[in-house]
Amino acid sequence: MSNLLSTDQVKEAIETALEGSEAIVVDMTGTSDHFDATVIWDGFDGMSRVRQHQAVYAALGDAMHGPVHALKLSTATREQWQDGQ
C-alpha cells in the first residue's frame, strides 16, 4: 500500500480480509491518514471487542504501522448493527 490511503482502499482491505463484512469508512481529516471505520461482520460473533478490533487491525496489516495514523473503530455483527448495538 502506498504512503496515503483512500477510504476505498481501507474499505477494500477490510472487506477482502474479513469475507462477508461491510465496512463504512470516512476520512476524518481529509489527509488520508485518520479514518473512522464501522465494520459489520458476523464473524465477530463470540469475539470480545478487543479481538474484534484486532481482526480489523490485522486486515489492514502494515498500513496500521504507516499510512494509517489513527483509526476510530466501531465493530458489530449484523444483528447488533440492526439492533443499534
- Give me the CATH number covering residue 12: 3.30.300.90
Q: Residue 67's domain spans which residues?
A: 7-82
Beta-carbon contacts of residue 14 (< 8 Å; ≥ 6 apart): 21, 23, 25, 37, 39, 56, 59, 60
Q: End-to-end alpha-carbon separation of the chain, Å? A: 32
Residue 37 CB neighbour total at 10 angstroms: 21
As for how many domains the chain has, the answer is 1
What pLDDT shows up at residue 85?
A: 58
What pLDDT shows up at residue 84?
A: 83
Asked if the structure places residue 2 within a domain, the reply is: no
Asked if the structure places residue 1 within a domain, the reply is: no
Asked if the structure places residue 12 within a domain, the reply is: yes
CA distance 56 to 39: 8
CA distance 66 to 80: 31
Asked if the structure places residue 35 within a domain, the reply is: yes
The per-residue pLDDT string of the chain (85 residues; one tens digit each, 9 = 90 and over) reads 457 889 999 999 999 999 999 999 999 999 898 999 999 999 999 999 999 999 999 999 999 888 898 999 999 999 999 988 5
Asked if the structure places residue 68 within a domain, the reply is: yes
